Amino acid sequence: MNLISSRPTKRTEGGEKRKTVLFVCVENAGRSQMAEGFFRKYASRGYFTASAGTRPSGELNPLAVQVMKEVDIDISKQRPKIITEDMIRKATVRVNMGCMDKQSCPTTLFIHKLLEWDIEDPKGKPIDKVREIRDEIEQKVRQLAADLVKSRPKIKL
């Protein structure tokens, strides 16, 4: 099964199951959406990505969409989604983008090991700060993608 629906799990050309990286934040409108966009660009074959929030907003942060377009990644069609127990269970790697509201999170999120990135929320920030946040996210996603390829995974989960 994949993360979002009850369809069968997608498989790579070699027939193995695709591994999923889940990026989580509160509103799923900025940080986690940017991370999902970058992971789609940098991930190796066999990896799928999703993002979700504990209290998703009604729309993406327009500055997040704008700064991602500046680096030729279009996240404008992505939508904020609520995190589900199923998404958490099925994820191979779970990344907490920062400032997680533990009281509104599914309890299984904290049973599983998380990568804690502690990235500042771009909400309400000027565009130059949103660009800095984007660049930090890109650096972390590139490193995660490289670690997943090198050591499957070298990162501590």
User: At 124, which CATH number?
Assistant: 3.40.50.2300
Check: CB of residue 125 under 8 Å from CB of residue 63: yes
| Selection from 14, 21, 11 nearest residue 147 by Cα | 21
Is 52 in contact with 22 (CB distance < 8 Å)?
A: yes
As beta bridge partners, residue 94 has: 22
Active site residues: 25, 99, 105
Q: Of 23, 34, 44, give the one whose Cα is nearest residue 153.
A: 44
Per-residue model confidence as pLDDT tens digits over 89-105:
899 999 999 865 556 55
CB neighbours of residue 142 within 10 Å: 14
**With 50 as the cut, is the pLDDT of residue 131 above it?**
yes
Element (H, E) at 49: strand 47-53
Overall domain count for the chain: 1
Convert the pLDDT of each residue in 2-54 to its tens digit.
Answer: 333 333 345 545 555 779 999 998 899 999 999 999 999 999 888 999 999 98
**Is 58 part of a structural domain of the chain?**
yes
Which stretches of 16-126 are DSSP H helices? 31-42, 62-69, 85-90, 108-111
- What pTM value is reported for the model? 0.82
Range of the domain at 111: 19-151
Q: In this structure, is residue 7 part of a structural domain?
A: no
